[in-house]
Structure 1
Amino acid sequence: MNNLGIIRKNPAGMPSPVGNYSHITKIPRNSELYVTSGQIGTDQNGIIPTSMNEQISNTFANINILLNSEELTSDHIIKVNIWATEKIDWDYLYEKWAELFGIHYPSMTIGYLLELGLPEIKIEIEIWAAKA
């Protein structure tokens, strides 16, 4: 639990998460909910790099801009959905993940798809956040 009233937990009797996420994230009643569109790895000029890791880096930078625009922090994030079209370099993604979340992980879903909105997009990340 953090000072925002959001609870993240892995209940007793459940298998441990296979990655850096929590099985359950509970938000307090009457919280304000924020849902982002899927964020992609464009740079500040709208260019989508060909490297998956560059796209990951840009995507996390774009997520930070969104959070800052609403005076949110990673503590407010309750759910992350990640879609990718090719194998994710988990060491690299988790490096960026740790920079954003530290050790307080939100709930997360990951899916691999054949294609996202544009053929050059390799990863897309959607954020759900709550502010009490």
Structure 2
Amino acid sequence: MENSKIIRKNPAGVHSPVGNYTHLTKIPRNSELYVTSGQIGADQHGNIPDKMNEQIRNTFRNIQTVLHAEELSSEHIIKVNIWATEKIDWDFLYEKWAELFGLDYPAMTVGYISELGLPEIKIEIELWAAKV
């Protein structure tokens, strides 16, 4: 039944996405909504590496841990917000993105800003998820 699953689509009349995301994600009524705090590149001991790609690797590992804690997977993610303080290596990020999402992309927003919560944080990723 179409009303009992998350739907992702790119409506006619809108340009194709310029990255690995979907323009519109629709969740059915009575779904449980999950919102994460921004996940950062800290390792399990709280250490934040200097290099952006290491922070990206740790951030995606942290995302997986948070998702698994609530028995969520990429199919439940409806929206991703990414904030970065320096240029993102999109080839590297999309490699980690593909490991998480395959080709089933959620809606996404990316913003470059001057700083995040701590000066050493270079990237932060927030997730919205829904369980039908």
User: Could you state the TM-score of these two structures normalised by the residue count of structure 1?
Assistant: 0.97
Asked if 1:89 is matched to 2:95, the reply is no
What is the distance in 2 between the residues matched to 1:12 and 1:81? Answer: 24
State whether structure 2 residue 40 is matched by structure 1 residue 40. Answer: yes
Shift of 1:13: 1.1
Residue 62 of structure 2: aligned partner: 62
SS in 1 for 2:126: strand
What one-letter code is carried by the residue in structure 1 that aligns with 2:53?
Answer: N
Post-superposition, which runs of at least 4 consecutive aligned residues in structure 1 deviate over 4 A?
none
Other-structure match for 2:15: 15
Q: Give RMSD over aligned pairs.
A: 1.0
Instruction: In structure 2, give the amino acid aligned to 1:23.
Output: H
Q: Over residues 51-73 of structure 1, what are the superposed CA-to-partner deviations in whole Å (9 max), with x where a residue is unaligned?
A: 00000000000000000000000
**Per-residue Cα deviation, 1:75-119 (whole angstroms, up to 9, x for no partner):** 000000000000000000000000000000000000000000000
Separation in structure 2 between the aligned mates of residue 64 and residue 43 of structure 1, nearest angstrom: 13
2:25 aligns to what SS in structure 1? strand
Residue type matched to 1:82 in 2? I
Q: Distance in 2 between matches of 1:105 and 1:12?
A: 17
The residue identity in structure 2 corresponding to 1:108 is M
**In 1: Cα distance, 2:66 partner to 2:28 partner:** 22
* Matched residue, 2:30: 30
Amino acid at match of 1:98: A
1:33 maps to amino acid: L
Residue aligned with 1:127, SS: strand
TM-score, with structure 2 as normaliser:
0.97
CA–CA distance in 2 between the matches of 1:73 and 1:117? Answer: 27
State the Cα distance separating 1:37 from its structure 2 match: 0.2
Superposition map of 1:43-122 within 5 A: 43-122=43-122
